[in-house]
Each structure stands twice: as C-alpha cells, then as structure tokens.
Amino acid sequence: MLSRACAPVAIFGLVFGRIRCDGWGMNAATTSRPVAGIFWMVVTGLNFVAVTAIVKHVGDDVPAAQAAFLRYVLGLVFLIPMIKPIMAAHLTKRQLKLFGWRGLMHTFAVILWFFAMARIPIAEVTAMNYLSPVYVSLGAALFMGERLPPRRLAAVIFALIGAMIILRPGVKEIETGHIAMMGTAVCFAAGYLIAKQLSGEVSAAVVVGMLSITVTIGLAPFALAVWVTPTWEQLGWLFLVACFATAGHYSMTLAFAAAPLTVTQPVTFLQLVWAVMLGAIVFGEAVDGWVILGGAVIMASVSFITWREAVARRKVTPTAPETKV
C-alpha cells in the first residue's frame, strides 16, 4: 500500500525528486543510518504532539467535525503539487470507489479523533491511537487472508490487554472520548486496509492527494450541520495544525528513508511521554501511570509485530504515526 507516510514525499520529495516511495512505504535505504532515522522520528513525534496540543487548545470552541474540516481545507494549499499527477492518473471506476471508501473511513476517524481530543486527556488519546496498527493486523487476517502466526496473535492479544489497562472498565468511568478513540483506531485501520488494494497501481502523490480531497468532501456535510463562525485566531490555530501535520509526515518519511522500521518504530513511544508531560504542564491533566503502562504494552506489541513482519520481509502493519490526522 502507498502509505500516509508518503504524504510529504508527494509535496516535497516527489516534486523535487529527492526521495521515492514504493508500495507500502519507503524503499529501503541503500545505507542504513539509524541515528538519522531516530532523529527524524523524534522530530516526527514533536510535530504530532504539537498537533494534539493545538487541537486540545481549540477544544470545543469549534465543533469536532468543523475543526477537522477546516484543518483539511486549510491544508489543501500543500496539495498544489499533486494536481498534475492526479489529473494524469486516469483513475478507473474501481480505483475511484476504493478512494471513496477510504476517504469515508478516514472522515469518520478524524471526526472521532477531534471529538476525543476535546474530552479526554492527551495521554489517553495518544496511547489509544497506538491500537490502529493492531487492528490492521487483525483486519488483514480476517478479511484479506493474511497469515497471523501464533506469536503475532499473542502480540495482538497483549495490545488489547494494554487497551484494557488504559480503560480499566469497572474501575474508572469510560467516557464518550474513550469510545470515540476506539472508533478512531478502527476507522484508521479500515482506511489503511482499503488503501492496500491500491498497492502499486498509482503513485504516492495520487494516493495522498485523493485522500485529502475525499476527506475534505466527506467532512463538508458534517461541518455544515454544526457550523459556527470561526474567529481569525481559530483559523490560524487550525492552519498551524495542517502545517505541523504536514511537517510530521515529511519528517517521518525522512526517518523511513534513513533506517528500517525496526529501528524507528520504538521511538514513537516517546510521543506518549511527551503527551503526558504536555497534558500535565500545559493543560493541568493528572499523570496516570496506568495510561503510561497500557501505552507501553501496546507499543511493545506493535514493535514486536513490526519486527516479525520485517523478518518475514513483508509489510502489513503500519507504523503508529502512519495513522495520524
């Protein structure tokens, strides 16, 4: 599949010919540079933490669907280099249908994510977002005939246990934001699996451009239904969300080009550490050790699945940042 990791490549690399995407993600670098890969993945995490901070700051002042819509509309400026590749792709009806379904899944995912961000701590949103790669593994096995060997199945089970550690049903109240994040992870995973059907058929620029276009269209009716007139300040914040998200995907691409996933994947756990610090210092959220433990269990499971798939020389499970807004 042409992953969302290729988003900035379409904007920068594919335009200027610096980096090339292939299949599910980046081509393996001719020479592995683990330090550079780790550095760029750290930068990726900081960019995505900035995204969560801004969305948390905007909060309920702008309805979730409208905030998501404005984030994508304001980000369309970054798609200008993709117009020509999309026009030249001559997409078939089947491809358009797949793009439409993926856009629909992603639409629901980003609405739920924006909704959750305004209602539960940043750390819990970040930790639960790690579940998307796990659902991809399950979905690939259930619906696409992919093998799920016993050790990887055990890792999936451990990841779900990690989710239960975070939620602790019966011990703490499960809020609507938690349910929204479960839906977010499922929808992101579904969109990723749908996009896998387009593997090798179209360029990264087309995949990324069509995703942004279909999600913008998909969000429009939901946004109009709850529309409130935004202030210039709110528009500025949401434009920053688009900027940081784009920068995050670009730095993630550089990380993938520099080092294998088995090196860069564990670094994504730092996002949870930073999310906990951000929530506590900036937003006054309590530090919950159970959330950190649950997130660590999920991230360890995802890293194990990624490692096993690297050993098998195939790619089914996306990295955690590939399922970001």
The pLDDT of residue 221 is 96
The whole-angstrom separation of Cα 127 and Cα 131 is 8
Please report, for residues 17, 43, 70, 132, the alpha-carbon distance to residue 77 in angstroms, rounded to integers and kept in the order given.
20, 22, 12, 28
The pLDDT of residue 247 is 86
Report CA torsion sign: 302, 305, 310, 316: negative
The whole-angstrom separation of Cα 292 and Cα 173 is 18
Portion of the chain with pLDDT greater than 90, in percent: 25
Task: Give, in degrees to the nearest 5, the angle at Cα 97 between 247 and 137.
Answer: 60
The pLDDT of residue 21 is 39
Is the model's pLDDT at 320 over the cut of 80? Answer: no
pTM over 0.75: yes
Nearest-10 crossing angle of helices 93-117, 34-58: 70
Cβ–Cβ < 8 Å for 168, 290: yes
The whole-angstrom separation of Cα 228 and Cα 226 is 7
Is the model's pLDDT at 73 over the cut of 70? Answer: yes
Highest mean pLDDT among 17-26, 231-240, 314-323: 231-240
Taking residues 6-29, what's their average pLDDT?
Answer: 38
Is the model's pLDDT at 299 over the cut of 90? Answer: no
Is the model's pLDDT at 5 over the cut of 50? Answer: no
The pLDDT of residue 323 is 56
Tell the residue number behind the tokens 């109240």, with chain if given.
173
Taking residues 149-177, what's their average pLDDT?
Answer: 85
More confident residue, 203 or 110: 110
The whole-angstrom separation of Cα 84 and Cα 43 is 30
Cβ–Cβ < 8 Å for 5, 252: yes
281-296 confidence digits (pLDDT tens): 888 888 888 888 988 8
The pLDDT of residue 108 is 95
The whole-angstrom separation of Cα 279 and Cα 261 is 28
Cβ–Cβ < 8 Å for 249, 8: yes
pLDDT class of 99 with cuts at 50, 70, 90: very high
The pLDDT of residue 15 is 34
Q: Token digits for 272? A: 């949870």
Q: What is the residue-averaged pLDDT of the chain?
A: 81
